[in-house]
Amino acid sequence: MQVQSTGSLEYTPRVQEITAAIRSRLTDVIPDVEWPVHAPYIARINELKKERDAVILVHNYQTPEIFHGVADFSGDSLELARLGARAGSGVILMCGVHFMAETSKILAPEKTVLIPDLEAGCSLAAAITGEDVRLLKQKYPGVPVVTYVNTSAEVKAESDICCTSANAVKIVESLGADRVIFLPDGYLGRYVAGKTDVEIILWEGSCEVHERFTADEIRSYRRSHSGIQVIAHPECPPDVLDEADFVGSTSAMIRYVGENKPRRVVMVTECSMSDNVAVEHPDVQFVRPCNLCPHMKRITLPKILRTLETLQPRVEVPAEIADRARLAVERMLQA
């Protein structure tokens, strides 16, 4: 089916009408002056995805107009891949980074998987290669390899089992081994090491967003905002985690806000996530540390629309890599 390019989109009364419910939810996080720019794209994307039999998966770090405007499913990387695989649609459009699209293709090889920008990468995924893992296995023969999902398909294929930040400790202990190789996030690995008696062999990768936070910055928030609750992602440096009131995965951080309803909170993670969670909790004051992921911000509404129009770029994973990577992911899901 040929789809004509929409060219320049206009903010018509019809667009205003069909995006009114979305606009009402986003008044506190998107200024009035910006909405006429976003709304025509949101309206057209939501129309076109039905024509394309596409499901749009949106990561927590995307901007609010994407997260709340066009997502069919939103969440962390692994949950998105699982939801996309279960959805009835034949096309998956991943609004995240490249390894997330790969994971979707691994779990749903029969589906067309799209990403709006092939250059949307990840410093963690780029920190290690399949060859690096093979060399580690030679150095530590018989030691199981636990790999964070924030990695390429090639690295997953060389691993024994995958993990998320939420289940990393459980996965490490499920292996019954005295020591494990943990890849690739050194900070997350140290956090896991502090929660288990298993010896952790680290790889010194890091997330370029989370590694920039400092303990001095957290102490400054406390001095400036009385009664603030600090919740941090375990990809942050250890001294930052020591300053936090709560440490947890992306989903755990969101759950913490919902269950505890802090009067003021700072989420020590990618700053668009604070905007997205704030929409659901207008009674909570969010102090926003603005560390942006440059790779996530490559994904924009115009690129999403163009991807739906052209069904490009597509993400492919060679079958021999996908089959082995799938085993590592499925072992995690069964653990």
Q: Which amino acid is it at 225? A: H
pLDDT band at residue 3 using 50, 70 and 90 as cut-offs? very low
Beta bridge partners of 180: 200
Does the pLDDT of residue 265 top 60, yes or no? yes
Inter-residue contact 202 to 194 (CB < 8 Å): no
Average pLDDT over residues 191-211: 97
Question: Which residue type is seen at 37?
Answer: V
CATH T-level topology, domain 13-122+296-310: Rossmann fold (3.40.50)
| Distance in angstroms between the alpha carbons of the first and the last residue of the chain | 43
* Token code pair at residue 273: 């996530």
CA 157 to chain CA centroid, Å, is 20
Does residue 147 carry a pLDDT above 70?
Answer: yes
With both helix axes pointing from N to C terminus, report the angle between 271-280 and 250-260 in degrees, rounded to the nearest 10: 40
Q: Are 187 and 211 within 8 A, CB to CB?
A: yes
pLDDT at 5 over 50: no
Nearest to 334 by CA among 163, 185, 188: 163
Output the pLDDT for position 290: 72
Q: Is 3.40.50.10800 the CATH classification of the domain at 210-286?
A: yes
Domain boundaries, the chain: 13-122+296-310, 124-206, 210-286
DSSP strand pairing (199-202 vs 179-183) = parallel
Query: Are 249 and 171 spatial neighbours (Cβ–Cβ below 8 Å)?
Result: no
Three-class SS of 241-305: HHHCCEECCHHHHHHHHHHHCCCEEEEECCHHHHHHHHHHCCCCEECCCCCCCCCHHHCCHHHHH
Q: Name the region of 120 (left: φ>0; alpha: ψ -120 to 50; beta: rest).
A: beta
Q: Which helix (H) or strand (E) holds 17?
A: helix 13-18
Residues 6+ apart with CB under 8 A from 255: 248
pTM across the whole model: 0.93
User: In this structure, what DSSP letter does residue 88 have?
Assistant: S
Give the distance from CA 243 to its chain's centroid.
24
Q: What is the DSSP string of 25-52?
A: HSTTTS-TTTHHHHHHHHHHHHHHHHHT
Task: Average the pLDDT over 37-57 and give the result.
Answer: 97
Quick one: pLDDT band at residue 8, thresholds 50, 70, 90? low
- pLDDT value of position 333: 86
Tokens describing residue 272: 């668009």
216 burial class (0-12, 13-18, 19+ CB within 10 angstroms)? exposed
* Domain 13-122+296-310 matches domain 124-206 at the CATH topology level: yes
pLDDT tens digits for 122-136? 999 999 999 999 999
Written as one letter, the residue type at 170 is: K
CA distance 266 to 330: 34
Q: What is the pLDDT of residues 310-330, one digit of tens each?
A: 999 999 999 999 999 999 999
- Is CATH 3.40.50.10800 the right assignment for the domain spanning 124-206? yes
**What is d(CA 234, CA 236) in angstroms, rounded to the nearest whole number?**
5
Q: Which residues, at least 6 apart from 16, have a Cβ–Cβ distance to it below 8 Å?
A: 39
6 — pLDDT class (breaks 50, 70, 90): very low
User: Lowest-pLDDT range, 115-119, 197-201, 329-333?
Assistant: 329-333
Q: Return the pLDDT at 229.
A: 96
Q: Reduced to 3 states, what is the DSSP secondary structure of residue 33?
A: coil
Say if residues 175 and 199 touch (Cβ distance below 8 Å): no
For the chain, give the percent of residues with pLDDT over 70. Answer: 98
pLDDT tens digits, one per residue of 157-189: 999 999 999 999 999 999 999 999 999 999 999
pLDDT of residue 2: 40
* pLDDT confidence band for 289 (50 / 70 / 90): confident
Mean pLDDT of the chain: 94
Per residue in 52-66, pLDDT tens?
999 999 999 999 999
